[in-house]
Amino acid sequence: MNERDPNYWVSIDPTRGGIAPPPARTRSGERAGQVLLLAILVLFLVDTFLPWQRVCVDLNDFGLRFAGCLSANAWSGTASHVGQAAGVFAIATIAVLGLRLGGVDLAEGGDVAARIGVYGTAAAGGLKWILVLGRLAAFGAWMGLLLLMAMAILESIAWFGIR
């Protein structure tokens, strides 16, 4: 290396005692919105493991009694591939939002990836809910619907800048 090489010189701020960090990209309100969105996504991911479909049987004939319940979560049961897509979108979006909140600068690609992940999760989860609704829907499906609506509304508010 020589002095003419642009990589030879490093810009150091002597008043701070080191290399200056990049300026923060988000305001505190945007950061709070991202934290809330991350919490909703984590709750939705947990909800995908709760029963989305449930059927209970109680047979009492000829002196024999058979009773029990079967349940399926969002990853299985009716339209399992759609529930799996919702879960994968949620996991990927949690990773992107976690990196962004941790200070990793993903530039505009991070914004686009987070938006695609949120709306992908909402679309796949909503389709799963619609397909489960007529087939023995359980409490997990209803909780999932509320979380999906909250997630989509929060992301839309952040995207369109509604205050």
Count up the domains in the chain and report the number.
1
**Domain-located, residue 22:** no
Strands (E), the chain: 53-61, 64-72
**Domain-located, residue 70:** yes
pTM tops 0.85:
no
Q: Are 26 and 101 in contact (CB under 8 A)?
A: no
**Domain-located, residue 19:** no
Q: Along the 163 residues of the chain, how does pLDDT read in single tens digits? A: 566 655 555 555 555 554 444 444 446 667 888 899 999 999 999 999 999 998 888 888 888 888 888 899 999 988 899 999 999 999 999 999 999 888 888 888 888 999 999 999 999 999 999 998 888 888 889 999 999 999 999 988 887 776 5
Domain that holds residue 35: 28-160
Q: Is 5 helix (H, G, I), strand (E, B) or coil?
A: coil
**Domain-located, residue 49:** yes
**Domain-located, residue 33:** yes
